[in-house]
């Protein structure tokens, strides 16, 4: 028997209402995304599975390994982030790592089975002179046969082109939250600044990796607002990391009420349905999830993870554990 579908009036359509102030169709009106979140769990997962199996091999998972190449001391005030200079956390500042150290880490990631290597730096926005050592890292990592990704903060169009020339495949820059919750989390840069960086990345011909964080105290409607905003980017991001807040002592968001894991699974499912062609990454927060919750995330359409013992400054499951989990589930790296 087929699952009940969301009402036709709420389904996405090519002639949906126009977004205020733009000439672009709102392909996923907020109400349609909220209606997906409100489906009975089994019906939501059934729809997500159908979309997932139409567009992807449901057994394949893409593996990205992260490395923080410049850590801490960031002037921004992102309420979740242990690397902000404004929050008294245990993170020690670390200037830019030497090239050889980065390439050695990339080599280990490749040998462990990663397909992509993502270099993160705690910048508000890199200066042009910061880009040169990073361009060398990108070229070196790519020469090993790994896909390259970087997350360095806000970029100007010329900087994005410089990174593209160096061989950058993906740039990660998250919207982080719905527009109407954003001001409660970050005050030192605007939502529009993030959209401008995404435009610069897209214009340079780099694949866009853009997602957000849930579990920051947002409402259910604001979770839907985050997914709707991502899905209405035109085109949708190639890669969509869905992070569960990692609560770090010293950050303003430490102590927030934990999100119900089933609500996290729902977020993955709705991202899968609304962005059928995107990789949906089960990102930060896996360390606090059971194998069973992660398995539900894969069923809901997640097809990528961060792989390796460390995210940027916080722990991630052991690679051995992840390999065993994938094997238990009959899944494989792709
Ligand atoms: N500084 C750059 C920037 O903010 O764009 C790049 C690095 S920043 C750490 C990359 C992303 O990591 C953030 O946009 C946020 O989505 C995610 N992140 C940071 N701290 C997190 C936390 N405690 N829990 C979950 N995600 C987090
Ligand atoms: C993303 O969306 N999540 C990653 C990656 N992009 C750069 C970062 C998660 C960071 C979690 C906190 C930390 O380890 O510092
Ligand atoms: Fe800085 Fe990025 Fe952390 Fe914000 S998320 S404080 S910009 S490192």
Q: What is the DSSP string of 69-119?
A: EEBS-B----TT-TTBTTS--SPPPB-PPPHHHHHHHHHHHHHHT-SEEEE
* Whether this model's pTM surpasses 0.85: yes
11 has a pLDDT exceeding 90: no
- Ligand 1 atom with minimal separation from the 122 CA: 1
Site to probe by mutation for ligand 1, drawn from 243, 282, 287 as the one with most ligand atoms within 8 Å of Cβ, is: 243
Distance (angstroms) between ligand 2 centre and the Cα of 92 equals: 16
Instruction: Give the pLDDT confidence score for residue 24 in this predicted structure.
Output: 55
* Average pLDDT value for the chain: 94
- The mean pLDDT of 109-115, rounded to a whole number, is 98
Whether 25 has a pLDDT exceeding 70, the answer reads: no
Give the span between the Cα atoms of 310 and 307, in whole angstroms. 8
Q: Sign of dihedral through CA atoms 99, 100, 105, 108?
A: positive
Q: In the structure encoding, which two tokens stand for residue 93, read together?
A: 């500042």
Give distance in angstroms: CA of 19 to centre of ligand 2: 30
* Residues annotated as part of the active site: 74, 78, 81, 118, 149, 209, 281
Give the dihedral sign, CA 246/46/332/325.
positive
Distance 72 CA to ligand 3 centre (A): 8
Residue 74 CB–ligand 3 contact under 6 Å = yes
Q: Are 270 and 33 in contact (CB under 8 A)?
A: yes
Q: How confident is the model at residue 17 (pLDDT cuts 50, 70, 90)?
A: very low
In the prediction, which pLDDT does 218 show? 98
- Specify the pLDDT at position 26: 63
Query: Pick from 260, 271, 330: which is nearest to 295 by CA?
Result: 330
């Amino acid at each position: 028997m087929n699952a009940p579908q969301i009402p036709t009036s709420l389904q996405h359509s090519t002639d949906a209402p126009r977004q205020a102030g733009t000439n672009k169709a709102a392909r996923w009106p907020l109400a349609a995304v909220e209606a997906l979140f409100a489906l009975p769990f089994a019906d939501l997962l059934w729809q997500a599975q159908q979309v997932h199996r139409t567009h992807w091999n449901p057994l394949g998972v893409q593996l990205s390994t992260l490395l923080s190449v410049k850590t801490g001391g960031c002037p921004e005030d992102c309420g979740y982030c242990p690397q902000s200079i404004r929050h008294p956390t245990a993170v020690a500042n670390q200037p830019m790592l030497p090239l050889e150290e980065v390439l050695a880490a990339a080599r280990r990631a490749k040998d462990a089975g990663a397909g992509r290597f993502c270099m993160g730096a705690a910048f508000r926005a890199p200066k042009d002179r910061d880009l040169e050592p990073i361009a060398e890292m990108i070229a070196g990592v790519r020469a090993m046969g790994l896909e390259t990704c970087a997350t360095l903060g806000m970029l100007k169009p010329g900087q994005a082109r410089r990174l593209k020339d160096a061989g950058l495949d993906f740039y990660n820059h998250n919207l982080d939250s719905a527009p109407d919750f954003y001001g409660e989390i970050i005050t030192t840069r605007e939502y529009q600044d993030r959209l401008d960086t995404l435009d610069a990345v897209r214009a340079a011909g780099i694949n866009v990796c853009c997602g957000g964080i849930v579990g920051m105290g947002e409402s259910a409607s604001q979770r839907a607002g985050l997914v709707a905003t991502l899905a209405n980017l035109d085109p949708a991001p190639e890669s969509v990391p869905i992070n569960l807040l990692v609560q770090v002592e010293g950050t303003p968001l430490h102590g927030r009420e934990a999100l119900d894991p089933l609500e996290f699974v729902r977020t993955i499912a709705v991202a899968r349905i609304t962005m059928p062609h995107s990789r949906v990454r089960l990102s930060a927060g896996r360390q606090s999830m059971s194998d069973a919750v992660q398995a539900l995330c894969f069923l809901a359409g997640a097809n990528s993870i961060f792989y390796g013992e460390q995210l940027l400054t916080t722990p991630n499951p052991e690679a051995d554990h992840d390999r065993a989990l994938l094997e238990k589930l009959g899944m494989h790296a792709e």
